[in-house]
């Protein structure tokens, strides 16, 4: 029997709305007491810092299997727990693609000995080809909690209709990128006066709205659920708000990068700020922040996409898109809280109870009997992001050199301290 008590904490639990002083007692990896506790076992004094559920990152790409030079599950775990993340959902973009039961099972087993929970997003189509449907039912039985086509949208509306109808039989959630392929193919930036001056091929924000509207209509037709993944524009958000007002099973996610950065952060062709979707205008960024505060955006993700320096240190148009984010997700969000743009409880909801509810997980909340996956946070701690000190194997981040506010100082997984700053 292992007992751990954390006392003198500010307990924040978005699932219940709890925000109060108190403590938590953990036994054998579970929470057994909350609030006005009787401390026993090993005792940690939180010193008045925030104690909340460990974060759930619903969009994490690693290089395992196939591209371990980018990131392994083990290195991703170290980055995650340093950022207060105790659960991750792996995207299917591996080599080979996670499009069958054996790979789902392999990765779940691979994650069993790591200091965080590993969940799997199975591929919607074989090899992510956008055409041949996978065995969603069998992969769900094997443990997959989400189904997507990674960064490639399902462009064919008839195939998407079949996927939604098929997935509805298993109560499976589908995620699809809000990208209209013919408008966004071979583009590297947001369509604006700024990208025109830089001479960059650009994707209009309306590309997101078109695909979002299509998938909303298909969700209504089939009765299925859809997560409109990685929106980055005010136009797409407005479509989702209208869909939610009609009580459709429509949800959306946004990358923390798009809450903190805009197209001007490309600067003088900074390839480390090349992302997919591209960074958009400041008005889009502010609309996304307001969407979180108003509850219209369900999930914030790191969109962790490790890339070696050789794939990023290229001319902007030739460089790979993507950035590491597991270690930065929490701090980037807390910085927006400190700046007065985000409500703390609203932000924490998008990285704890909301993804847990969408995926049917038992974590993401402070509740008796829930897993003791916890993050102890200093919301006022200033620090400078230095890419070479990040724990990810790859160091590609647009936040290099930026001042951030707030950080996880301790992370607990199944009642055991796995990280201390």
Quick one: 87 and 104 in the same domain?
Answer: yes
Domain span at residue 385? 3-50+372-420
pLDDT of residue 415: 97
- In sequence order, which residues have a C-beta less than 8 Å from that of residue 19 and are 6 or more positions away? 10, 11, 12, 13, 345
User: Cis peptide leading into 277, omega within 30 of 0?
Assistant: yes
Q: Is the peptide bond before 366 cis (omega within 30 degrees of 0)?
A: no
Instruction: Output the pLDDT for position 1.
Output: 62
| Span 202-219, pLDDT tens digits | 999 999 999 999 999 999
Torsions phi, psi for 101 (to 5 deg): -60, -40
Same domain assignment for residues 225 and 341: yes
Instruction: Please check whether residues 325 and 377 belong to one and the same domain.
Output: no
Is residue 107 within 8 Å of 118, Cβ to Cβ?
Answer: yes
Query: Structural domain tally of the chain?
Result: 2
Q: What is the tens place of the pLDDT at every residue in 223-277?
A: 999 999 999 999 999 999 999 999 999 999 999 999 999 999 999 999 999 999 9
Same domain, 336 and 382: no
CATH number assigned to the domain comprising residue 213: 3.20.20.140
Q: Are residues 218 and 302 in the same domain?
A: yes
Distance, in Å, from the CA atom of 34 to the CA atom of 48, rounded to the nearest integer, reads: 15
Q: State residue 6 phi and psi, 5-degree precision.
A: -115, 120
- Looking at the fold, whether 150 and 249 belong to one and the same domain comes out as yes
In whole angstroms, give the CA distance from residue 294 to residue 346: 8
Q: How far is CA 267 from CA 154, 187, 276, 396, 398, in A?
A: 32, 17, 17, 16, 11
- Of 364, 380, 409, the last residue of a domain is 364
3-class secondary-structure state, position 173:
coil
Task: Clarify whether 19 is annotated catalytic.
Answer: no
Whether residues 290 and 210 share a domain: the answer is: yes
pLDDT of residue 2: 86
Mean pLDDT of the chain: 97
Q: Which one from 303, 357, 362, 378 is the annotated catalytic residue? A: 303
Single residue among 364, 385, 405 that ends a domain in this structure: 364
Q: With the C-alpha atoms ordered 113, 81, 346, 57, is the resulting torsion angle positive or negative?
A: negative
Same domain (yes/no): 215, 143: yes
Same domain flag for 233 and 134: yes
Identify whether residues 126 and 38 lie together within a single domain: no
Give me the residues of the chain with pLDDT under 70, please: 1
CA pair distance 393, 415, nearest whole angstrom: 27
Residues 27 and 145 in one domain: no
Quick one: 116 and 185 in the same domain? yes
CATH of the domain at 19: 2.30.40.10
Instruction: State the Cα–Cα distance between residues 385 and 370, nearest whole angstrom.
Output: 33
Helix axes of 206-222 and 157-168: crossing angle, nearest 10 degrees = 40
The distance from CA 179 to its chain's CA centroid, rounded to whole angstroms, is: 18
């Amino acid at each position: 029997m292992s007992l751990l008590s954390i006392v003198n904490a500010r307990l924040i639990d978005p699932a219940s709305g709890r925000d109060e002083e108190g403590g938590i007692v953990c036994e054998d990896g579970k929470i057994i007491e909350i609030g006005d506790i009787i401390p026993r076992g090993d005792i940690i004094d939180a010193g008045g810092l925030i104690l909340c559920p460990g974060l759930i990152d619903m969009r994490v790409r690693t290089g395992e299997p196939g591209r371990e030079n980018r990131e392994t599950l083990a290195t991703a775990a170290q980055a995650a727990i340093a950022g207060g993340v105790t659960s991750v959902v792996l995207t299917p973009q591996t080599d080979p693609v996670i499009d069958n039961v054996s790979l789902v099972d392999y990765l779940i087993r691979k994650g069993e000995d790591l200091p965080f929970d590993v969940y799997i997003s199975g591929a919607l189509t074989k090899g992510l080809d956008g055409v041949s449907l996978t065995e969603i039912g069998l992969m769900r039985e094997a443990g997959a909690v989400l189904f997507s086509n990674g960064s490639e949208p399902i462009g064919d509306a008839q195939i998407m209709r079949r996927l939604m109808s098929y997935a509805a039989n298993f109560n499976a959630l589908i995620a699809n990128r809000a990208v209209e392929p013919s408008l966004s193919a071979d583009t590297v930036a947001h369509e604006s006066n700024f990208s025109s001056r830089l001479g960059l091929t650009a994707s209009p924000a309306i590309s997101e709205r078109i695909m979002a509207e299509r998938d909303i209509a298909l969700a209504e037709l089939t009765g299925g659920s859809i997560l409109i993944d990685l929106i980055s524009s005010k136009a797409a958000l407005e479509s989702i708000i209208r869909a939610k007002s009609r009580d459709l099973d429509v949800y959306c996610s946004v990358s923390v990068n798009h809450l903190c950065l805009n197209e001007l952060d490309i600067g003088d062709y900074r390839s480390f700020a090349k992302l997919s979707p591209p960074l958009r205008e400041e008005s889009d960024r502010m609309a996304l922040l307001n969407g979180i505060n108003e509850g219209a955006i369900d999930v914030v993700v790191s969109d962790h996409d490790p890339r070696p320096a050789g794939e990023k240190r290229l001319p902007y148009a030739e460089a790979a898109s993507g950035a590491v984010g597991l270690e930065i997700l929490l701090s980037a969000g807390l910085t927006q809280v400190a700046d007065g743009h985000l409500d703390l409880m609203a932000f924490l909801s998008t990285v704890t109870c909301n993804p847990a509810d969408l995926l049917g997980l038992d974590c993401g909340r402070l509740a008796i009997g829930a897993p003791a996956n916890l993050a102890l946070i200093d919301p006022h701690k200033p620090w400078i992001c230095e890419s070479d000190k990040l724990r990810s194997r790859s160091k590609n981040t647009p936040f290099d050199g930026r001042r951030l506010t707030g950080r996880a100082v301790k992370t607990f997984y199944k009642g055991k301290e796995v990280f201390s700053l």
